[in-house]
Amino acid sequence: MKTALAIAAAVALATPALAQQRIPVGHLMDNSGATSDVGVPYGQGVADTLAWVNQTRQGVAGRQLNVLGFDYGYQAPRAVSQYQSWTGRDRVVAIQGWGTADTEALVRFVNRDKIPFVSGSYSAALTDAGGKSGRQGVEASPYNFFFGPSYSDALRGMLRWAADDWKAKGGQGRPKYVHMGGNHPYPNSPKEAGEAMARELGFEVLPAIQFALTPGDYTSQCLTLKQQGANYAYLGNTAGSNISVLRACQTAGVQVQFMGNVWGMDENAMKAAGAAANGVVFPVRTQVVTGQDAPGMETIRAISRLSDPTGNVYRPVHYLAGACAAMLMVEAMDTAAANGGQVTGERIQRGFYERTNWVPKGFEGVCTPSTFTNEDHRGTMRVAIYRAVVSGDTSQGSVAELMRAGTMRLEPVTTVELERKRELLGW
Amino acid sequence: MTVMTPAGDFRTSYRADTTIFPTRGSRAALWAGLAVLLCAPLVLDRYLLSLLINVGTLGIAALGLNILVGFTGQISIGHAAFFGFGAFSSAWLHESFGLPVLLCIPVAGLMTALVGLVFGAPAARLKGLYLAIATLAAQFILEDFFARARWFTGGVAGRLTESPAIGSFALDREESYFYLVLAFVIIMFVAAANLMRTRDGRALVAVRDHYLSAEIMGINLAYYRTLSFGIASFYAGIGGALYAHHLQFVSVEAFNILFSIQFLGMVIIGGLGSIMGSLMGAAFMVALPEVVQAAADALAGGAIDRALKIGGNISFLREMAIGAAIILFLIFEPDGLARRWKLIKAYWKLYPYSH
Amino acid sequence: MDGTLLFQLTLNGLIVGALYGVVAMSFVLIYKASQVVNFAQGEFLLVGAWMCWWFLTEWQLPFVIGFLFTLVFMTLFGIILQVVVLRPLIGEPVISVIMATIGMGIFFQALMKWIFGVFAKPFPPVFTAERVSVLGLEVQTAYLLSLGISVAIMAGFGWFFRYSRHGLAMRATAFDQQVAQSLGISVPRVFAMSWAISAVVSAVAGVTVGMVNGVSSALSFYGIKVFPAVILGGLDSILGAVLGGLIVGVLENLAQYVDSQWLNWGNMYQVAPFYALLLILLIKPYGLFGTRNIERI
C-alpha cells in the first residue's frame, strides 16, 4: 500500500514536469474521409515512426514528442479549426499534415505562426518557398515540406515515360492523353502542368473526365473514355475511387494505359481491383517496397512492430513514405535542438536546409534522398515508376500472402530524373 | 411585477400576455447570465471560447431553422447550404468590394435571405415530404454551385477570410470575437422573440397549426411560407458569415448534407418551436463530439478500445452519436431540451411539494 | 454527335435505372403502407450488401446460402427497426418521422464504416462469365441478373398486391388505417411486414451493385437517388417508381453525354436528376404520376 501511494505521488509529481518537457507535435490524419483508403496506412506510418522515435531515441534531444493525432475526415474546414486549437492551446512546434485542400488553406496560417508543416499533399504550389515564381495563386510557402516528387513532377515523369512507351510499342500518330479525377484541389493540382507537358511531348490532350473521390459506378465515364479513344489516362484520385474506375473500364472493355497518382495505386488497391489493376503504372516514393531488402528495411520492420507485434501485417508503399516524412521532421528537430538550441518552428524550418541528398539515419536504401533550399522545396526530382502486376485471383488471401505468392507484384519500370527547371517551380 | 410566476392566469392585458420575461426573478437571472457570459473570456481558455463561439454561430442559424420548422411547420433539409451561402457571401463581399467585415456580415445575411426567397417561392406550394425532398435537391444544387463558382467561393479550394476590425482594433482572437458573436446572438434572439409577438409571428404559427384554418382566417399562405423561408435564410446567412470570419477559411466541403441534418438535429433536440431551445440544441451538438472524444480518451488503451478499435474510428463514433441522439430524443423527449428545462424548473419551484 | 456512345450510355442508364427502380419500389412500399418517408433506404442496400459480403468471405459460405442468410437477416432487420424506432413515432408529425429515418441512416452508415472500413471490397466471383455483350455494350453478368430479378420482383409485387391476402391487407391499410383496423387487419403487423419486404428487396439491389462495383459506403447514395425517381413517378405508385427509376438512370447518362461532348463541366451526372426534380415539383407539386391529395375540412 505504501509503495503504491509513493508511486502514485511520484507519478503525480512527475507528470506535470514531464508534460512541460514534451514537445507538442500535431498530426492531421484522414482515417474516415474520402482519402482514408491511403490516409490510414500513411497516418499509421507517421504515428508508428514518431512512437518509435520516442521509444528508441528518447524523442528529440532527450525530450519526448507529444504527438497529438486528429482525424479530420478530409474536410479542410475541420483541419483549419483543429489547427487553431493546436496553436492556441497546445502550442505545437511542427505538424504532420495530409490533404491538398487543407494544406493549401493553411499555408498563410503556418507562415504567420512559423510552424513547419510536413504534408501528405505533394501539390507543386507548396514548393515555391521564396514566393518568387510569380505564378497566380501561388504564395510563398517557406514552412511547407513534403517527401517525394510533387504531383506535377511525378506526372511529368510518367508522361516522359509514356511518350517513350508509345514509340517503343510502335504506336502510330499522336497518342491521346486525358486527365481524370474529381473536382477537388488534390486531383486538380497537376492538371494544367500535366496537360502542358503532354502537349509539349506531342500528345493530343483530350477534355478531362471527372469522377468523384468516393467509390461508385463510373461506367458512363468509362464509356466516354472509350469513345474518346484515349491512349494514356491519368488517375488523379486516391486508390479507393480509382478502383471503381478501373473495374468499370475493364468491364466496358476500355484499352488504355492508366497512370496513377502516387496515392492512386497501392497493394491494397491491387487486391481490391484484382485483374483490373493489372498494368497500371504509378510513382513510388521510396527506393524499395515491402518484401525487397535494403539496409533501412530493418528499421522499418522495427517501426512496424510497434503497431503490429506479430510482424505479419503487410505495409503498403504509403506506410514507408509516412515513415520517411516523419523522419525528415524529426531530424530537422534534432538539428534545431543541437547544441542546446530551442526547438521552435523557425529553427526546425532552418533544420530542413542543413543537409543535401538527405536520407534519415537508419533509413538508408529506403528513403529517397531529398534536398531542400530556402527557395526551392522540391525535395526530389526523381520519379521512380512502378507497374502493378496482377496475375491471378486476388479475392482470397491477405495482401501479404498474395504478394509473397507473386499473384500481385510491384515491378519497377523506369526511373526518370527530371531537370530542376526554375520556371517550373511552384507549378 | 412579481418575483415568482403566479399560480394562475391573472394577466389582464395583451401586453402582459406577450412579455418575454414575466417576472422580476427571470429578469434578474437574465442580467446575471449576461454578466457571467461577459466574464467568460477572462476565465476560459481559447479552445473553450471557440466552442462557445460555435454554439453562438450555429445557434443563430438553428434559430432560423426553428422559425421555419418549429414555428411555420415547413421543412428544410438544405439549411447548411444557406449557412454556407452566407459564409461565402461575406467573404466575397469583403474581398471583392473591400467592405468592412462588420458591414459584410449583415449584408451577407440579406443576400442569403434573397436566395432563400428565391428557393422559398416554389416551396410555398409544397409542404411536408415534398418540401423536404425539394430542399434536399436545393442542398445538392447549391453544393454543386459552390464547387463551380470560382469567382464567388474560390471554387473547390475555398477562400481565406479576414477577421473583422473596429477601427484599428482587429477582432482576430477568440477573446474578442466572442463578444461580437455574443452581441449578434442577443440581437438575433431578441429579434426572433419579438417577431413571435407580432401579427406576422402569430400568422406563422397559425400556418403551422392548421394551414387551411389559417387561410380561412385571411392569412396569405404563400406569402407567409415564403417569408418564413426568407427569415430562416437570413438567420442562416448571419450565422454563416460569423462562422466564416471566425474560422478565417471557407470551403464547400463544410456545408454538406450531414451538416444540414445536424441543424435539424439541433432544432429537434433543442425543442421545436422554442427560441431558447435552438441555442440549447446548438450547445448539445457542439458538446456531443467533445463528449464522445472524452469517452474515447477515457477508454483509450483499455480492452474495449482494443476490441472495438475506437482510436482510429472516432469519427464514425461521432457520427453514430449524432444519429443516435436524434433518434433517442425523438422517441423519449420529442419536445426537446427546452421542455426538459421547464420540467426541471417546475420541479424545483414546487420542491418539496411536487405533487 | 456520336451515335454509339449515346446508345451505349442510354442502355447503361436503363440497366442502372432498373436498379434505381427496384430501390424506389421498396421505398414506395413503405410509404404506401405506413406513410413513412424512409430516408434510410440507401442504408438498407448498404447493410444488406455488407452482410452478404461478410457471409461469403468471412464464413466462406457458397453464394446461394450466404444470399439466403442475408435475406433472413434483412427481414429481421426491417422488422426490428420498425418496431423499435418507428412504432413509438406513430402519430408524430412528418418532420419527426423523417428525422428518425435520417438518424437511422447516419447511424448505420457510420456503423458499417466502423465495422467494415471505408475501402471498397470486392465480392468473390459468383458467375463464371463476368460479363456479357448486350447490343455492343459489355455488361456485368450481375447487372443482367439484377435486371431479371428486378422484373421478377416487380411481377411479384403486382401479384402480391392484387391477389395475396397480405397484399390486400396492405392496400387496405394504405387506403385508410382505421377502416382497415375495423375490418380485422392488424395494422402494426402490416407496417412491420412492409418494412421487412422493403429491406429484403433493397438488400437484393445492394448485393447486385456490390457484385459489380465492390461493396462500399457509396451504396447508400442509391437512397438519395430514389427521391428524384419517386418524385418523377409519384410517391404512391409502384409502377411509377419503376418508371421513375428508369428515367433517372437514363437522365444521368444523358447528362454525362451532354457534359462529355459539349459542356465539360463535370459532375452533371450527379446533379442533373436534382434539377429535374425541382423542375417537376415547380410544375406538378405532386409528381408526374402522383395522385393529388384532396383535403376536406
* Residues A209, A110 share a domain: no
- For chain A, list the contacting chains (3+ Cβ pairs, <8 Å): B, C
- Percentage with pLDDT > 90 across chain C: 23
Cα–Cα distance, C15 to B67 (Å, whole number): 43
Of all residues in chain A, the one with the smallest CA distance to C267 is A210
Q: Is B179 on the interface with A (CB under 8 A)?
A: no
Query: Do the domain assignments include residue C185?
Result: yes
User: In this predicted model, what pLDDT tens digit does every residue of A211-232 receive, in sequence order?
Assistant: 888 888 888 889 889 888 899 9
What CATH number is attached to the domain comprising A173? 3.40.50.2300
Q: Indicate which of A31, A42, A178, A219 best probes the interface with C, i.e. most C CBs within 10 Å of its own CB.
A: A219
Cα–Cα distance, B73 to B66 (Å, whole number): 9
Helix axes C238-258, A219-228, angle to 10 degrees: 30
* Residues A247, A139 share a domain: no
DSSP per residue over C194-214, as a string? HHHHHHHHHHHHHHHHHHHH-
Contacts for B277 with CB less than 8 Å, ≥ 6 apart:
B66, B70, B267, B270, B271, B336, B337, B338
* Residues A101, A20 share a domain: yes
Which residues of chain A neighbour C12 with C-beta distances below 8 Å? 219-220, 223
Range of the domain at C105: 21-220
Q: How far is C162 from chain A (nearest CA, A)?
A: 35
On whether the CB atoms of residues B157 and A104 are closer than 8 A, the answer is: yes
* Residues A102, A141 share a domain: yes
On whether the CB atoms of residues C270 and B144 are closer than 8 A, the answer is: yes
* Residues A282, A140 share a domain: no
On whether the CB atoms of residues C245 and C23 are closer than 8 A, the answer is: yes
> How many domains does the structure of chain A reveal?
2
Residue A253's nearest CA partner among A280, A227, A279 is A227
Task: For chains B and C, count residue pairs whose Cβ atoms are closer than 8 Å.
Answer: 126
- Nearest CB neighbour to A71, from listed B46, B50, B315: B315
Q: How far is C220 from chain A (nearest CA, A)?
A: 10
* Residues A233, A205 share a domain: yes
Which residues of chain C neighbour B130 with C-beta distances below 8 Å? 231, 281, 285-287
Q: How confident is the model at residue A10 (pLDDT cuts 50, 70, 90)?
A: very low
**Mean predicted confidence (pLDDT) in A62-69:** 92
Which residues of chain B neighbour C110 with C-beta distances below 8 Å? 315-320, 323
Q: Is C7 on the interface with A (CB under 8 A)?
A: no
H/E stretch holding C50:
helix C41-57
* Residues A96, A75 share a domain: yes
Query: Which residue ranges in chain B fall short of pLDDT 50?
Result: 1
The pLDDT, as a whole number, for residue B86 is 96
- Percentage with pLDDT > 70 across chain A: 95
Lowest mean pLDDT among A65-69, B76-80, C260-264: C260-264
Q: How confident is the model at residue A14 (pLDDT cuts 50, 70, 90)?
A: very low
Q: How far is A182 from chain B (nearest CA, A)?
A: 10
The pLDDT, as a whole number, for residue B184 is 95
Q: Is C267 on the interface with B (CB under 8 A)?
A: yes
Q: Is B205 on the interface with A (CB under 8 A)?
A: no
Residue C132's nearest CA partner among A251, A273, A274 is A251
Residue with cell 435571405: B113
Of all residues in chain A, the one with the smallest CA distance to C129 is A251
Amino acid, single-letter form, for residue B187: I
Question: Domain B38-350 falls in which CATH fold?
Answer: ABC transporter involved in vitamin B12 uptake, BtuC (1.10.3470)
Q: Is C250 on the interface with A (CB under 8 A)?
A: no
- Nearest CB neighbour to C121, from listed A214, A217, A272: A272
Q: Is B264 on the interface with C (CB under 8 A)?
A: yes
The pLDDT, as a whole number, for residue A8 is 47
Amino acid, single-letter form, for residue C80: I
CB contact under 8 A, B132 and C98: yes
Q: What is the mean pLDDT of chain A?
A: 89
Query: Do the domain assignments include residue C290?
Result: no
On whether the CB atoms of residues A95 and A117 are closer than 8 A, the answer is: yes
pLDDT at A13 over 60: no
Residue A105's nearest CA partner among B161, C226, C69 is B161
CB contact under 8 A, C274 and B212: no
* Residues A268, A254 share a domain: yes
Query: 3-state class of C261 per DSSP?
Result: helix
Q: How confident is the model at residue C296 (pLDDT cuts 50, 70, 90)?
A: low
CB contact under 8 A, B46 and A184: no
The pLDDT, as a whole number, for residue B109 is 96
User: In this predicted model, what pLDDT tens digit does every residue of C85-96 receive, in sequence order?
Assistant: 998 888 788 888
- Percentage with pLDDT > 70 across chain C: 95
Cell numbers for B38: 461577459
Cα–Cα distance, A134 to A322 (Å, whole number): 31
Q: How confident is the model at residue C104 (pLDDT cuts 50, 70, 90)?
A: very high
Residue with cell 472524444: B293
The pLDDT, as a whole number, for residue B168 is 82
Range of the domain at A203: 151-289+382-424
Which residues of chain C neighbour B73 with C-beta distances below 8 Å? 93
> How many domains does the structure of chain C reveal?
1
The pLDDT, as a whole number, for residue C42 is 92
Cα–Cα distance, C297 to C287 (Å, whole number): 24
Cα–Cα distance, A158 to A176 (Å, whole number): 14
Cell numbers for B275: 427560441
Contacts for A403 with CB less than 8 Å, ≥ 6 apart:
A267, A290, A291, A314, A409
B159-160 vs B249-250, strand pairing mode: antiparallel
CB contact under 8 A, B129 and C98: yes
CB contact under 8 A, C266 and A393: no
Residue A104's nearest CA partner among A161, A150, A66, A69 is A150
* Residues A268, A169 share a domain: yes
Of all residues in chain B, the one with the smallest CA distance to C96 is B330
Query: Do the domain assignments include residue C275?
Result: no
Q: How far is A166 from chain B (nearest CA, A)?
A: 34
Which residues of chain C neighbour B315 with C-beta distances below 8 Å? 110
pLDDT at C166 over 90: no
H runs (alpha helix) in chain B: 14-17, 24-43, 46-66, 79-97, 101-123, 128-148, 150-153, 174-195, 199-209, 211-216, 221-247, 257-270, 275-299, 303-308, 314-332, 336-350
Cell numbers for B312: 482510429
CB contact under 8 A, B249 and A88: no
User: In this predicted model, what pLDDT tens digit does every residue of A341-398 receive, in sequence order?
Assistant: 889 999 999 999 999 999 999 999 999 999 999 999 999 999 999 999 999 888 788 8
CB contact under 8 A, C96 and B330: yes
Please state, as a whole number, how many other Cβ atoms lie within 10 Å of the Cβ of residue B23: 15
Would you call A159 exposed, middle or buried from its count of C-beta atoms within 10 A (0-12, 13-18, 19+)?
buried
Q: Indicate which of A72, A80, A103, A108 best probes the interface with B, i.e. most B CBs within 10 Å of its own CB.
A: A80
Query: 3-state class of A396 per DSSP?
Result: coil
Q: Is C266 on the interface with A (CB under 8 A)?
A: yes
Please state, as a whole number, how many other Cβ atoms lie within 10 Å of the Cβ of residue C163: 9
**Cis peptide before B352, with omega less than 30 degrees from 0?**
yes
Of all residues in chain B, the one with the smallest CA distance to C101 is B327
Residue A218's nearest CA partner among C209, B205, C223 is C209
CB contact under 8 A, B331 and C271: no
Q: Indicate which of A227, A394, A396 best probes the interface with C, i.e. most C CBs within 10 Å of its own CB.
A: A227
Residue B80: alpha-carbon gap to chain centroid = 10
H/E stretch holding A145:
strand A144-145
- Largest distance between two CA atoms of chain B: 65
Residue B254's nearest CA partner among B119, B112, B142 is B142
Q: Indicate which of C269, C270, C271 best probes the interface with A, i.e. most A CBs within 10 Å of its own CB.
A: C269
Please state, as a whole number, how many other Cβ atoms lie within 10 Å of the Cβ of residue B39: 10
Q: Indicate which of C90, C104, C106 best probes the interface with B, i.e. most B CBs within 10 Å of its own CB.
A: C106
* Residues A144, A129 share a domain: yes
On whether the CB atoms of residues A108 and A94 are closer than 8 A, the answer is: no
The pTM assigned to this predicted structure is: 0.90
What does the H/E/C string look like for C7-49?
Answer: HHHHHHHHHHHHHHHHHHHHHHHHHHHHCCCCCCHHHHHHHHH
User: In this predicted model, what pLDDT tens digit does every residue of C110-152 receive, in sequence order?
Assistant: 999 889 887 778 888 777 666 777 777 777 777 777 778 778 8
Of all residues in chain B, the one with the smallest CA distance to A86 is B47
User: In this predicted model, what pLDDT tens digit does every residue of C181-236 receive, in sequence order?
Assistant: 888 888 888 889 999 999 999 998 898 888 877 888 888 888 888 888 988 887 87
On whether the CB atoms of residues C222 and C44 are closer than 8 A, the answer is: no
The Cα-based distances of B72 to A146, B38, B202, B272, C251 in angstroms read 53, 33, 10, 10, 35
Contacts for A305 with CB less than 8 Å, ≥ 6 apart:
A311
CB contact under 8 A, A184 and B249: no
Cα–Cα distance, A203 to A178 (Å, whole number): 10
Q: Is C134 on the interface with A (CB under 8 A)?
A: no
Q: How far is B306 from chain A (nearest CA, A)?
A: 12
* Residues A300, A273 share a domain: no
The Cα-based distances of B114 to A133, B13, B226, B239, B325 in angstroms read 42, 37, 11, 15, 33
- Nearest CB neighbour to B253, from listed A75, A81, A89: A75
Residue with cell 418540401: B131
On whether the CB atoms of residues A152 and A188 are closer than 8 A, the answer is: no
User: In this predicted model, what pLDDT tens digit does every residue of A279-306 receive, in sequence order?
Assistant: 999 999 999 998 888 999 999 999 999 9
**Mean predicted confidence (pLDDT) in A42-56:** 94
Q: Indicate which of C38, C85, C107, C220 best probes the interface with B, i.e. most B CBs within 10 Å of its own CB.
A: C107
Query: Do the domain assignments include residue A231?
Result: yes
The pLDDT, as a whole number, for residue C293 is 64
The pLDDT, as a whole number, for residue C263 is 74
* Residues A282, A174 share a domain: yes
Q: Is A153 on the interface with B (CB under 8 A)?
A: no
> How many residues are there in chain C?
297
